[in-house]
Structure 1
Amino acid sequence: MIKYKAFSDAELVALLKENDRFAFNEIYRRYWRIMYLYARKLLFDHKDAEDVVQEVLAYIWTKREEIRITTSLRSYLYGSVRNMVLNMANRKKVIERYLVFFGDFIDKGDFVTDDYIRERELTLAIQAAVVSLPPRMRQIFELSRNEYMSQKNIAEKLNLSDKTVKKQISNALKLLRIKVLR
């Protein structure tokens, strides 16, 4: 039986690239604890540190044929752990931002939706009430509110007195309040 403990890191990496599971097991045995302590120092969390080390080792195994280690294996593993910790921190920040956003949305979203529904219902009630006004009163009200015409301009357009237009608008508003607020 080959004694993998005697192999150098470079030899283990070369064997790993040739799909040697025992070489991977030796790298695992040799570096798991060191990588875990480093990850734990960076993360302050036992489970997250274990997850980072497992992800790094799983990556090394799955990419074993393509992996290019230009430094020492130890440096490569430290760098991989550091990068994985940074990726994890970035993912957590993104998740936290989404949670804050969705929390705000949930807190405010119900009200926005309720407000929107109430606004639509009120608009429909007002439109129905306007349609039910007497024809001349409705015409004057719509010129005032929809076309933004002044009372004087409405009076000139319809050959009415300013007081008649003012009274019609006032009466229309009273009727609309009664019909809408019922």
Structure 2
Amino acid sequence: MHKINTDNELLNLLKSGHKSALDEIYNRYYAILYSHAYSKLPDREEVRDIVQEVFVSLWNNREKIVITSSLSAYLYTSTRSRVLDIYRRQKVRNAYTQSLQAFIDSGENITEEKFREKELIRLVEKEVASLPAQMRRIFEMSRFKDMTHQQIADELQISPQTVRTQVKNALRVLRVKLGAHIFTIFF
């Protein structure tokens, strides 16, 4: 329907709440954003999540969005920013893993209790990492950064209700995957 519209016209329609404008923007830019993200991060599922988050954010923030250059530049920058966030998280995880490995390699005597604790932590981290990207990000901000739902909502530019729902869903998924006993120890 909007194929003849320019990006600026589509952006104005989007700001007015026209879902069809978002659909047209999605159709125009999904493949190129996916291709760009995939060239930097060859994990198809994670790339799909990233690109999806870009469009969800565009829709959720449509009324207050300010684009100073072009729509394509804005979308590209948003995608690149999310890819860099993943690199940063992986870098922190790798540093933690290397630190833990160095400790183990140093020959320190690890008691059975410490070993079990390490395994439990690894299991919890694995299950948290397997959550969908947006849910994981919100959950980590809530539980590991001790941010309030309002602070998370403000930072991610989403509603506090969305944050509550995502945290609740993450807890439900983790309770099922970890079992009630392990779940209550950590959360």
TM value normalised by structure 1? 0.54
Write the distance in 2 (CA, Å) between the matches of 1:27 and 1:109: 57
Q: 1:93 is matched with which residue? A: 91
Write the distance in 2 (CA, Å) between the matches of 1:109 and 1:19: 62
Write the distance in 2 (CA, Å) between the matches of 1:49 and 1:83: 12
Q: Deviations over 1:57-112 (max 9, x none)?
A: 12111211121111111111111111111111111111222233344556679725
2:30 pairs with 1:29: no
Distance 1:96-1:5 versus aligned 2 partners, 3 A rule: same
Instruction: Tell me the secondary structure at the aligned position of residue 5 of structure 1.
Output: coil
Which of 9, 12, 24 matches 1:11? Answer: 9
Which of 70, 73, 76 matches 1:72? Answer: 70
Write the distance in 1 (CA, Å) between the matches of 2:13 and 2:103: 54
Alignment length, in residue pairs? 112
Write the distance in 1 (CA, Å) between the matches of 2:2 and 2:23: 9
Q: Deviations over 1:128-167 (max 9, x none)?
A: xxxxxxxxxxxxxxxxxxxxxxxxxxxxxxxxxxxxxxxx
Q: Quick one: percent identity of the two aligned structures?
A: 42
Write the distance in 2 (CA, Å) between the matches of 1:45 and 1:31: 19
RMSD (CA atoms): 2.3
Write the distance in 2 (CA, Å) between the matches of 1:110 and 1:45: 36
> Which is greater in Rg?
1
Q: Counterpart amino acid of 1:57? A: F
Write the distance in 2 (CA, Å) between the matches of 1:12 and 1:66: 15
Write the distance in 2 (CA, Å) between the matches of 1:104 and 1:61: 45
TM value normalised by structure 2? 0.53
Q: Return 5+ residue gaps in structure 2 as ranges.
A: 113-187
Distance 1:62-1:109 versus aligned 2 partners, 3 A rule: farther
Instruction: Tell me the secondary structure at the aligned position of residue 73 of structure 2.
Output: helix
Q: Return 5+ residue gaps in structure 1 as ranges.
A: 115-182
Q: 1:83 is matched with which residue? A: 81
Q: 1:20 is matched with which residue? A: 18
Structure having greater relative contact order (Cα 8 Å, sep ≥ 6): 2
Write the distance in 2 (CA, Å) between the matches of 1:106 and 1:63: 47
Q: 1:44 is matched with which residue? A: 42
Q: Counterpart amino acid of 1:33? A: A
